[in-house]
Amino acid sequence: MADTREIQIKKLLSDPEKLLSKLPFTRGSSSFSVHDSEEGNDVDLNVTKVVKLPKISKNIITQERFLKELDPMCHDVLYDKNIPSICVKLEGGGYREIKFVNMPIGLQERIMAKNTLNLCGYPMSFTLMDSKPTQLQKDNCTLFKQYWELRNQDGMRTKMVATQLSMGDAGLLFYFDNEGCIKSRLLCYKDGYVLIPHNDQNGDRILESVYYADENGIEYIDSYDKTYMYRMTKGDTVDDNGNEWIMQEPIVHGFSEIPLITKRGDVAWNNVETLIEAFEILYNIFLVIQKRHGWGILYIRGKFSQEAKQIAGSIILNDKSHDGKGSAEFKTPPSPQGTIETLTNLFKHIQIGSSTTFILPEDVKTSGQISALAIKLAQSLDLEKATMAVIDWQNVADKMCRLFKEGLAKELVNKGISKTAVTDFKDLHLNAKFKVWQPLDDASYNQMLATLKQAGITSSKTAIEKCTVNAPDEEERVNEDIEREKQDTIDKMNANNGNGTNVDSNSNTAEGDNANPDANDANNNNA
């Protein structure tokens, strides 16, 4: 019988070694062979075999390596001694090597940034799931969106995505600051935090741990379950049981679930790192050749003056064996076309392997305006990858929404803004989603929404929610405008009524309905 959730947590907290254990990041393998000795053997159809447990080996790669790959000034090409150098013969008979600085190329950073844009180029989308929401639900939905924007949660989401695609994992910790405001902060390897998730036998998260050290070098392990934060401190001495980790008194963190969100996955350039390294090496060799032969080769027959030796940039070949009248001519240097074609081909496969399309300014130069559809089709690889990533990040979107909603409700109660916010926000059923960024300008996109609304394909609610220029309370503003126009129409009708009969503002007149065809639709939709 499996241990309960509480027993599993207790076992982890009692064993710091298990608490600090996590699966390593891997990339590639040292060999192509497999462990299953039966691979390649013949077998008759419909004949069963006894199965074996999976045994897969891959090479460990550290997060430190990820950071060095991300930073161009840490690339291996800078320290590659096999890049050819330029050596010249001195007049005295010796040789001198001309200094040449190897040049890295930051393609990893560009791939990461493009992948982040595809996932976070648009704000998080929130939909009120109740089919007939109450006015209170509408108001709370608007309030939630306003505070979400005020606390820059879309910005924190973007930082989390960029961090995960750069370092393999990232964490977002929700907390209450000294003034009781709901906030979130990023935890990542680069800042000294090691994230260690722990799941039960069903894969459900039971504990999130963070391993770090303060400015004095004192090491800590902070672990979060759905109620408490447990802090362990590594001391200079051991206790009677031989433990060097001292558990402090648990602290109630104030949320109904683990307040730390973690996400793990491959770095954005994981599949093309070797291609990038090959590209850098060849590019540097190309630069050396261009520097060596860029001014041509001057071939001289016979003796030449000292002034001729000062010809800058050119390689001088002096043939003193030639008898008779001297001559000079420039020889054609080796053609770089083959190298350029190889570099172009490598760059193409880097884009294919990483599902990242780089569209540069020269790629869109045209006599007319290039269509958004053409750019979208050109970036189909990006869209395919981002669509799958949206699914992969859905749990993060859901938990960000839940934690912020719960924290905001408690903040509103504690500040006396709303006494019933905690209860009211439990009835606020929001669906949060990432939206794949597409190369469509705002004007065209918003015009598309208006067209869909007019055609009856989408509702006023959806059009308002998706419009890129709308404020969080845009639907309330639209409804206010509709009511104001309706009242203006009624006032004009009363003013033009010769017998002085007043028109009831609540009556359904034909004129009022025709003047505001979307009024009923807008009033039935939520924020």
Residue pLDDT, tens place only, 345-360? 999 999 999 999 887 7
Cβ neighbours around 169 below 10 Å, total: 23
Residue 91 pLDDT exceeds 90? no
* Sheet of strand 260-264: strand arrangement: 182-187, 169-176, 260-264
Least confident of 36-45, 66-75, 218-227, 398-407: 36-45
Token pair belonging to 515 = 């003047």
Q: Which pLDDT belongs to residue 364?
A: 64
In the predicted structure, residue 144 carries a pLDDT above the cut 80: yes
Give the 3-state secondary structure of 106-145. CHHHHHHHHHHHHHHCCCCEEEECCCCCCHHHHHHHHHHH
User: How far is the C-alpha of 128 from the C-alpha of 451, rounded, in Å?
Assistant: 23
Instruction: Report the distance separating Cα 97 and Cα 36, nearest Å.
Output: 53
Question: Is pLDDT above 60 for 222?
Answer: yes
pLDDT > 80? residue 309? no
Burial class (CB in 10 A: 0-12, 13-18, 19+), 469: exposed
Task: Compute how many other C-beta atoms are within 10 angstroms of the C-beta atom of residue 77.
Answer: 19
Picking from 458, 481, 86, 120, the residue whose alpha carbon sits closest to that of residue 293 is 86
| Mean pLDDT, the chain, integer | 83
* DSSP string computed for 371-394: PHHHHHHHTHHHHHHHHHHHHHTH
Residue 306, pLDDT > 70, answer no
pLDDT above 70 (res 29): yes
